[in-house]
Amino acid sequence: MGKLRFYLDESVNVAVASGLRRRGIEVETAVESGNRSLSDDAQLAYAVNNDLVIVTHDADFLAMSIEARHKGIAYAHLQKYSIGDLIRRLKLLWEIVESQDMLNHVEFL
C-alpha cells in the first residue's frame, strides 16, 4: 500500500541520499539519524522501528536477513554500480514495489 522509504547504512555514499531526495523519494541515512557506528543489529532494529528498507553494501545483512524480521534489504555490491546507477536502480525499485512486498525480502540490485 505504501511507498518504500529507504535507510542508507554508513556503507552507502551520502550522495545517493541526495539523488533520491531530488527525485522525491523519502530517505534517511545512518549519519543523519545519529546512528553512525551502531552495530548491524542496531541498524536493522532502527530500520524496522521506522518502517525503512535498508540500503547497504554490507554482506553481513544478507546473513542477518535469514533469521531477523525486517522491512526489506536492498543490497548492492560496493564495486558494482556508480552512484548514479545505484540511484536509478533504487528509483526503479521505489516505482514498482510497495512496502508490504519488501517485508523480510532481500532485493539484489
> Could you read off the pLDDT of 7-19 as tens digits, one per residue?
999 999 999 999 9
For residue 1, is pLDDT > 80? no
pTM: 0.93
> Could you read off the pLDDT of 33-91 as tens digits, one per residue?
999 989 999 999 999 999 999 999 999 999 999 988 999 999 999 888 999 999 999 99
71 in a structural domain: yes
54 in a structural domain: yes
39 in a structural domain: yes
41 in a structural domain: yes
* pLDDT (0 to 100) of residue 38: 93
CATH number of the domain within which 82 lies? 3.40.50
Residue-range definition of the domain harbouring residue 20: 6-108
Task: Write a three-state SS string for the chain.
Answer: CCECCEEECCCCCHHHHHHHHHCCCCEEECCCCCCCCCCHHHHHHHHHHCCCEEEECCCHHHHHHHHCCCCCEEECCCCCCCHHHHHHHHHHHHHHCEHHHHCCCEEEC
1 in a structural domain: no
- The number of folded domains in the chain is 1
